Amino acid sequence: MSDAKPLAEQLIECEQWCAARSEKEYLAVATKGLRILPGHHAELVKSLPGQEPRADGWSLRSDVIGSGMWLLFGLVLLAGVAMAYVTSFDLVKNTAHPFLYAGLLALLPSAAVVYLPLRALLRSYELVFGDEVLIVRRHVFRRRDAEWRLPLGEEVRVGLAYRGVRSRYRGKSGGSFAQLSIVVASGEAEIVFGADLEHAERARLATLIDHHFNGTEEIPRGA
């Protein structure tokens, strides 16, 4: 692939390529994955929505989508809750208290309809660059959900590769396909994270990490 092509586009193409093939065909290529190249560092000049500099690293929030998108998101959630209630009502409409029973039946699916999308949006990743360790933290609903620590050696290698996470969607081969995670390695150790992020977010975090350890030009932190 061309060095000039945006990393997020390469990531999408790679996962689409995997989706069109069986696991036996894509496994070796997806496991090797994509390297972060020096040409990708230039993408950092333009800040991604939700990207914020910190004194010791960066943070990336997924909820910076604009008021219009939040309004649309709220309407979709409301429609989902209404659909859950209507479906439940059809099951109990011949009972003595259909409205009450429908409300009770709809509680669990309605909670899932609201919780799962909000969990995906109200999420952020934090990068902490230490002298001896790289720390990556995932926050959900502003609370720490997971943390990864990588002891740093002389060399840090960053890429996007398959490490066992499979897409929820089915590929052309009929099954779920490889979803590339952010992989950071140093010495014999590696950490794997970020498969839950959108393509642009995965590409940005991987590039930020690689630029910190392997970049040669300064990127404006307020960009």
What is the full DSSP assignment across 15-72? HHHHHTS-HHHHHHHHHH-EEPPGGGGGGGGSPPTTEEEETTEEEEES----HHHHHH
Q: What pLDDT is recorded for position 198?
A: 92
| Residue 36 confidence (pLDDT) above 80 | yes
Across residues 20-49, what is the average pLDDT? 91
Q: What pLDDT is recorded for position 34?
A: 95
Across residues 46-52, what is the average pLDDT? 90
Q: What pLDDT is recorded for position 174?
A: 53
Q: What pLDDT is recorded for position 2?
A: 43
CB 15 within 8 A of CB 168: no
Interval 166-217: pLDDT, tens: 876 554 545 677 899 999 999 999 999 999 999 999 999 999 999 999 987 7
Look at the block and give the residue holding tokens 């630029």. Answer: 211
Interval 69-83: pLDDT, tens: 778 878 888 999 999
Across residues 53-58, what is the average pLDDT? 92
Distance CA 223, CA 33 (A): 28
Close Cβ partners of 10 (under 8 Å, ≥ 6 residues apart): 1, 34
- Burial of 120 from C-beta contacts in 10 A (0-12 / 13-18 / 19+): middle
- Residue 86: pLDDT band (50, 70, 90) is very high
- Residue 4: pLDDT band (50, 70, 90) is low
Helices 98-121, 67-92: inter-axial angle, 10-degree rounding? 150
Q: What pLDDT is recorded for position 1?
A: 39
Domain ranges of the chain: 7-63+123-214, 67-120
Q: What pLDDT is recorded for position 191?
A: 97
Look at the block and give the residue holding tokens 């929820």. Answer: 168
- Residue 30: pLDDT band (50, 70, 90) is very high
Interval 97-151: pLDDT, tens: 889 989 999 999 999 888 888 877 789 999 999 999 999 999 998 899 999 999 9
| Secondary element (H or E) of residue 9 | helix 7-19
Q: What is the pTM of this model?
A: 0.80
56-85 as b/e, with b when 16 or more CB fall inside 10 Å? ebbbbbbeeeeeeeeeeeeeeeeebbeebb
Q: What pLDDT is recorded for position 62?
A: 84
Three-state secondary structure call for residue 200: helix
Distance CA 85, CA 111 (A): 12
